[in-house]
Structure 1
Amino acid sequence: MKKTFMGVRLKRLREERRLTQAALADKLGISLSYLNQMENNQRPLTLPVLLALNSAFGLDLQMFAEGDEARLMSDLKEVLSDPSLGETIATAEVREIALNMPAVGRALVGLHRRSRQAVEQAAALAARLGEDRQADAAMLPSTAFEEVRDFFYANHNYIAELDETAEQIALKINLKAGQAASALASHLESDFGVRIVLDGVDDIAAGTQRWFDGQTKTLHLSRRLHPGQQAFQLGTQIAMLSFDRELQALVDKAGLTSKEARGLARIGLANYFAGALVLPYALFLEQAEQRRYDVELLTQQFDVGFETICHRLSTLQRPSARGVPFFFIRVDRAGNISKRQSATDFHFSRVGGTCPLWNVYEAFANPGRILTQLARMPDERTYLWIARTVSHGRGGYLAPAKTFAVALGCDIRHAGSVVYSQGLDLSDPSVPTPIGMGCKVCERPECAQRAFPPIGRALQIDETRSRFAPYATS
């Protein structure tokens, strides 16, 4: 067992139980001086002491675990990098808060989030009134979208109630891989009396993929959708019709602060159900493991798009049957993140974009090609990433198309289970590309791609060098 210093948590436990140090030491069968040293982090909390705590108080020992430490540290580093604080907080201090005072850390993150939301709302109002100040801040993602993303992030991108129910329905209707559209259409018609109509370009509003007429019980789908997309829209409608109360209960439980956020969350949960219905958990996990998570083979097997497979792979976190814990992200050419899902503790920055050395941006220069990368974060954790572009057309020759880059990543310890690790030397420490969460929060001072210093750090001016000069040329 590695050395674990949990003095503050031990002291908090004692104070909650209203025990003196002497009384607690007596219950644990240790000396008063030894307990005092543990509470002051002069000695680690050992396994025998943990077992004594469990025996004396019937405690869940998870309260002394470090499982969420990395996630909380990432959030705290972002919060404490705010230049308005006027302080430079060392990584060691951040880790001390995350490890020994997690409740305080979570409170700080919550306060920062509310403060940031207020600033963004003020900036958006200023922009609507025609004021130029804080115009850049008004371009940040809306609070409602961020709230919904945080909800899925907090649930590790796995919603058990919806996933299990969707799988049961898939088994009930004997849904076959790659044949979901016809099976779901039959289910809607037989169980709900819904008629499916495929509409042409002129019959359905621009950009609309699904429209349900409740009076006539007619579901209109765009004729432009391929069978996999049709299946997804059919699954979403099944969720709306059959599990409205369940969706609303999950939304209410999330504690979202605005009507817009609650509406987005309901749609997001319905979409989650649709993905779980079209790609049932056990079947999809079995096929994914057999093919070593080869995304293109899975798209052929289930007749859905590359992005849909990547998104579903990031949700395989059922406690009794876990897949590789993937992170999923979708960006456009300007670096705007429109989707981000994480099954584990990889942290996507909300401050000033992401890292240009990340292969998700190189994908735009190689359309349709899968790029692989070993990337090392500033905390020395290394990840395997794949990235590829996806495009969505909306019509004829002159109609604009949407192009994104989607990326799928996992911790290097899982790389051996993934086909994309072939040909990569996982043991050579010089192979991974050093990346960060964005220049404003990245601590790599010697990065050749750095655009500006990290926020909260004093800028050291050196007239003999051109680094960070506003008009310097290469």
Structure 2
Amino acid sequence: MGEKLFIGPRLRLLRQTKGWKLEACAAQLGLSASYLSQIEANQRPVTARVLIDVMRVFEVDAASLDAADDQRLIADLREATADAPIGGPMGSDPPALSEIKAAVANTPNLAKAYLDLHRAYRRLDERLKATEEAVSLDERGAASALLPYEEVRDFFHYKNNYIHSLDVAAEALAVEIGGGGERALEAYLADRLGVRVVRGDEPDLLRHWDAASRTVTIGTAHPEATRSFQLAYQIAALTLPDIVEAELAAAGFRSDSAAKVCRTGLLNYAAGALVLPYERFREAARAARHDIERLALSFQTSLEQVFHRLSTLQRPGARGVPFYFVRLDRAGNITKRHSATRLQFARFGGACPLWNVHDAFARPDAWLVQLAQMPDAVRYVCIARGVVKPSGAYRQAERRYALGLGCEARYADQLVYADGLDLAGPSAPIGVSCRICERDDCSQRAFPPVDRAFEVFEDDRRWVPFSLRG
């Protein structure tokens, strides 16, 4: 039996947008007013017939009624409400998980407003700290560079890492170009856009654009997949600026810095959609059972580009397998994170140490597969791989990353990596991060969760030097 579907707040918002009273809307859907009221209050799930009628009457697809955003809100609210002092009055306990779920289910707009308030508090707190640091160090212009990136991460986070306007435009552009390889992209730049492509040998150069001479310089120290991606970026920057600016205007970023960061992110997205056009890539991924190496070879791209693109296949009416994608550096910093699954990444702190993505640094040439289970009992097939990006110079350090990709275990039959995996067997217990993990039996817990009381036993030393309460 499938999961029950509750769409109350979304249905209420659709009705209010139309300006319909409860009775009028119930008549349109062929329901009684009391039945509709119960659905809107999330007291009853919707049946398949009612769902179809809702889609017909309001002219929406099932994706717009999906509850995936609820999981994002729940994860973000757990961290925000546990983040003292805004989590509640000093000395009070943060709200229980059941209360947070109820708030998201019944008052999603209030939950989002609370997150906006928390983000504003965080920004103010960071600026205050930056000001204090500048005064103490007698340095001018000290400021947090993290805040614009966090704002942009939230933008992609709540877009489900799928930008429809750019994706469709990039797919049409790929058809026009006729291929995503370096030669095809260079020819399009020269013949259609009047751009000259030259090569540069600076180790850290990826791409440099000179608008005056209409020349783009591409670094030769990088593999062909990287060079192709940079050429695709330049094509997107020259042909899709109106779409990018429209997305930025709709986003309403609070600072020019955030808008600039997002502009680059949107053009990177468009470049990925250009070298890996949506429908062709989705069909190839399905046929190859998401074999990442085969896909990279077929589309002449890097492993990381395939990892990333798989996490974006969320086009309404043509969705792929919902994946999460994460990239970590050797210090454990999450440098990229996207999720179309119920698994949501922590906004603060590191990732769970029991997750196989950390092992990829020790075995950079191996594909690591893990059957893992989150505290909510949802199980995932987790794939990890280490990658090394050449530096191009002896004295320049190579860049090493660990890439992680995963989906819920119910999609395991569509993954070549799940062949031979005992899906009925034991799974590794993992969490989001120690900061908000609900588990009380983890032998690698780094510190207590922020919303749980704990007790230290001075005369009884265990692997974890404290015990959680409540």
Q: Same fold (TM over 0.5)?
A: yes
- Determine if contact 1:54/1:61 at 8 Å carries over to the other structure: no
* Correspondence list, 1:193-208, <5 A: 193-201=194-202, 207-208=204-205
- The alignment status of 1:310 with 2:307, answered yes or no, reads yes
1:224 matched residue in structure 2: 221
TM-score of the aligned structures, taking structure 2 as reference length = 0.85
In 1, distance between residues paired with 2:290 and 2:4? 36
Number of residues paired by the alignment? 451
**What is the Cα deviation at residue 226 of structure 1?**
2.1
Per the alignment, do residues 46 and 212 of structure 1 end up closer, same or farther by CA in structure 2, a change over 3 Å counting?
closer
Query: Deviation digits for residues 358-415 of structure 1, max 9, x if unmatched?
Result: 1111111112211111111111111111111111222232221111111111111112
| Secondary structure at 1:406 match in 2 | strand
**What is the Cα deviation at residue 170 of structure 1?**
1.7
2:172 matched residue in structure 1: 168
In 1, distance between residues paired with 2:8 and 2:242? 45
Per the alignment, do residues 4 and 360 of structure 1 end up closer, same or farther by CA in structure 2, a change over 3 Å counting?
closer
**What is the Cα deviation at residue 280 of structure 1?**
1.6
In 1, distance between residues paired with 2:212 and 2:185? 21
- The alignment status of 1:72 with 2:67, answered yes or no, reads no
**What is the Cα deviation at residue 345 of structure 1?**
3.6
2:325 matched residue in structure 1: 328
Query: Deviation digits for residues 266-310 of structure 1, max 9, x if unmatched?
Result: 111111111111112222222212211111112222222111111
Counterpart residue identity of residue 151, structure 1:
F
- Determine if contact 1:391/1:402 at 8 Å carries over to the other structure: yes
- The alignment status of 1:439 with 2:445, answered yes or no, reads no
- The alignment status of 1:184 with 2:188, answered yes or no, reads no
In 2, distance between residues paired with 1:194 and 1:29? 61
- The alignment status of 1:450 with 2:445, answered yes or no, reads yes
- Determine if contact 2:327/2:337 at 8 Å carries over to the other structure: yes
Q: Which has the larger radius of gyration?
A: 1
- Determine if contact 1:83/1:456 at 8 Å carries over to the other structure: no
- Determine if contact 1:66/1:99 at 8 Å carries over to the other structure: no
For 2:148, which of 137, 140, 144 is the aligned residue? 144
For 1:109, which of 89, 111, 115 is the aligned residue? 115
| Secondary structure at 1:339 match in 2 | strand
| Secondary structure at 1:441 match in 2 | coil
TM-score of the aligned structures, taking structure 1 as reference length = 0.84
In 2, distance between residues paired with 1:219 and 1:161? 26
Where in structure 1 are there 5+ consecutive unaligned residues?
133-137
Query: Deviation digits for residues 30-57 of structure 1, max 9, x if unmatched?
Result: 698x99988988x636659969x969x9
1:156 matched residue in structure 2: 160
Per the alignment, do residues 35 and 248 of structure 1 end up closer, same or farther by CA in structure 2, a change over 3 Å counting?
closer
- Determine if contact 2:326/2:338 at 8 Å carries over to the other structure: yes
In 2, distance between residues paired with 1:167 and 1:15? 35
Query: Deviation digits for residues 62-89 of structure 1, max 9, x if unmatched?
Result: 8986453322221221222224333132
Counterpart residue identity of residue 436, structure 2:
V
In 2, distance between residues paired with 1:274 and 1:418? 26
* Correspondence list, 1:4-19, <5 A: none
1:346 matched residue in structure 2: 343
Identity %: 40
Per the alignment, do residues 256 and 8 of structure 1 end up closer, same or farther by CA in structure 2, a change over 3 Å counting?
closer
1:121 matched residue in structure 2: 127
**What is the Cα deviation at residue 123 of structure 1?**
2.2
Name which of structure 1's ranges 396-405 and 83-92 shifts more when overlaid on structure 2. 83-92
Name which of structure 1's ranges 227-236 and 315-324 shifts more when overlaid on structure 2. 315-324
- Determine if contact 2:375/2:439 at 8 Å carries over to the other structure: yes
Per the alignment, do residues 399 and 422 of structure 1 end up closer, same or farther by CA in structure 2, a change over 3 Å counting?
same
Per the alignment, do residues 344 and 10 of structure 1 end up closer, same or farther by CA in structure 2, a change over 3 Å counting?
closer
| Secondary structure at 1:349 match in 2 | coil
2:233 matched residue in structure 1: 236
Name which of structure 1's ranges 7-16 and 351-360 shifts more when overlaid on structure 2. 7-16
Name which of structure 1's ranges 456-465 and 300-309 shifts more when overlaid on structure 2. 456-465
- The alignment status of 1:255 with 2:252, answered yes or no, reads yes
For 2:362, which of 358, 365, 378 is the aligned residue? 365
RMSD: 3.5
| Secondary structure at 1:68 match in 2 | helix
Name which of structure 1's ranges 158-167 and 122-131 shifts more when overlaid on structure 2. 122-131
In 2, distance between residues paired with 1:12 and 1:286? 35
**What is the Cα deviation at residue 2 of structure 1?**
7.0
- The alignment status of 1:264 with 2:265, answered yes or no, reads no
- Determine if contact 1:295/1:306 at 8 Å carries over to the other structure: yes
Per the alignment, do residues 107 and 222 of structure 1 end up closer, same or farther by CA in structure 2, a change over 3 Å counting?
same
| Secondary structure at 2:455 match in 1 | coil
